[in-house]
Amino acid sequence: MNFLSPQSILPNLPNFRYQQIINWIWCGLLTDWSGAKNLPQDLRAQLSQILPLTINAKVLTSADKKTAKALITLGDGSAIETVLMKHSDGRRTACLSSQVGCPMGCVFCSTGTMGLKRNLTAEEILLQALLWQRELAKVGEKLSNAVFMGMGEPLLNYAAVMEAIKILHEPKIFNIGSHHISISTCGILPAMKKLGQERIKVNLALSLHAPDDKLRTQLMPVNKTYRLKPVLAEALKYYKLTGRQVMLEYVLIKNVNDAPEQAHHLADLIKDLDQTAFIVNLIPYNDTKIFKSSTGEAIKKFKEIVSRAGIKTVQRYRFGANIKAACGQLASRKS
Ligand code: SF4
The predicted-structure confidence for 238-265, as pLDDT tens digits, reads as follows 999 999 999 999 999 999 999 999 999 9
Q: For ligand 1, is residue 109 a contact (CB within 6 Å)?
A: yes
- Are 28 and 105 members of one domain? no
- Are 233 and 273 members of one domain? yes
Is residue 142 very low, low, confident or very high in pLDDT (cuts 50, 70, 90)?
very high
pTM for the model: 0.94
pLDDT at 335: 30
Q: Which of 81, 106, 332 to mutate to test the pocket of ligand 1 (most atoms within 8 A of CB)?
A: 106
Q: Does 328 reside within a domain?
A: no
- Mean per-residue pLDDT for 103-113? 89
- Mean per-residue pLDDT for 105-121? 91
Q: For ligand 1, is residue 136 a contact (CB within 6 Å)?
A: no
Is the pLDDT at 320 greater than 90? The verdict is: no
Flag the least confident range among 19-28, 94-103, 281-290. Answer: 281-290
Q: Does 44 reside within a domain?
A: yes
Q: Which of 83, 95, 98, 186 to mutate to test the pocket of ligand 1 (most atoms within 8 A of CB)?
A: 186
Q: Does 257 reside within a domain?
A: yes
In which domain, by residue range, is 146 found? Answer: 57-323
Is the pLDDT at 196 greater than 90? The verdict is: yes
Q: For ligand 1, is residue 153 a contact (CB within 6 Å)?
A: yes
Nearest-atom index, ligand 1, CA of 184: 2
pLDDT at 332: 47
- Are 138 and 232 members of one domain? yes
Q: Does 195 reside within a domain?
A: yes
Nearest-atom index, ligand 1, CA of 105: 5
pLDDT at 316: 75
The predicted-structure confidence for 282-314, as pLDDT tens digits, reads as follows 999 988 888 999 999 999 999 999 999 999 999
pLDDT averaged over every residue in the chain: 93
- Are 41 and 112 members of one domain? no
Is 327 assigned a catalytic role?
Answer: yes
CA-CA distance, 186 to 206, in Å (whole number)? 6
- Are 186 and 96 members of one domain? yes
- Are 44 and 66 members of one domain? no
- Are 25 and 167 members of one domain? no
What spacing in Å lies between the alpha carbon of 153 and ligand 1's midpoint? 6
pLDDT at 130: 98
pLDDT at 324: 58
Q: Does 222 reside within a domain?
A: yes
What spacing in Å lies between the alpha carbon of 282 and ligand 1's midpoint? 17
- Are 220 and 163 members of one domain? yes
Domain count, the chain: 2
Nearest-atom index, ligand 1, CA of 112: 5
pLDDT at 319: 58
* Percent of the chain predicted with pLDDT > 90: 88
- Are 142 and 179 members of one domain? yes
Half-sphere CA count of 102, side-chain side, radius 13 A: 31
Flag the least confident range among 167-171, 255-259, 329-333. Answer: 329-333
Amino acid at 248: L
- Mean per-residue pLDDT for 214-221? 97
- Mean per-residue pLDDT for 160-172? 97
CATH, residue 189: 3.20.20.70
pLDDT at 334: 35
- Are 287 and 188 members of one domain? yes
pLDDT at 113: 84
- Are 27 and 78 members of one domain? no
Q: Does 1 reside within a domain?
A: no
What spacing in Å lies between the alpha carbon of 37 and ligand 1's midpoint? 44
Is the pLDDT at 328 greater than 70? The verdict is: no
Q: Does 181 reside within a domain?
A: yes
Q: For ligand 1, is residue 257 a contact (CB within 6 Å)?
A: no
- Are 11 and 61 members of one domain? no
Q: Does 334 reside within a domain?
A: no
The predicted-structure confidence for 29-78, as pLDDT tens digits, reads as follows 999 999 999 999 999 999 999 999 999 999 999 999 999 999 999 999 99
